[in-house]
Amino acid sequence: MRTVECDGGILGLVLTRDRHVVAQDGYSVPSLGKKGDMALTTKALPSLRTGKGVVIGDSPNAVRTRLGAPTKVTPHGRFVDYVYKGRRGDGDHEQTYTFKAGRLIEVSFFRDATQGAG
């Protein structure tokens, strides 16, 4: 899912296998019988690889090997989030890698586009 805040300030990208998350964000998900305001364009999972080689299905150790130690680790129920925060010339960045049963199931990228402007 690609997101842009109404003012264009926060840009986001979420790669996920969880169709319930997608449906909650307002997308139609025919396999769940859910109708939403937006249509999905699906892509095969093998094409969903980050620029640093992280792939849905990776283990926490594989993610640490590619990205280093996370800024924060947050367990919540059956899930664990690895959060990486940083600042680059184009603004603040936050990446969240969500694991379930020891496998990566979701990646979220967010950037504050207003920070680099001006």
With cut-offs at 50, 70 and 90, classify the pLDDT of residue 35.
confident
Return the pLDDT at 75. Answer: 96
Return the pLDDT at 63. Answer: 97
Evaluate if residue 5 carries a pLDDT over 60: no
With cut-offs at 50, 70 and 90, classify the pLDDT of residue 117.
very low
Looking up tokens 């139609």 gives 28
**Average pLDDT of the chain?**
77
Return the pLDDT at 48. Answer: 65
CA distance 109 to 118: 23
Question: pLDDT, tens digit, for every residue of 90-110?
Answer: 678 888 999 999 999 888 887
Run of H or E residues at 91: strand 91-100
CA distance 1 to 87: 23
Question: pLDDT, tens digit, for every residue of 63-93?
Answer: 999 999 999 999 999 999 999 998 876 678 8
Averaged over 17-24, what is the pLDDT? 67
Asked if 85 and 94 touch (Cβ cutoff 8 Å), the reply is: yes
* Domains identified in the chain and CATH numbers: 2-17+44-112 (3.30.160)
CA distance 54 to 66: 7
Three-class SS of residue 19?
helix
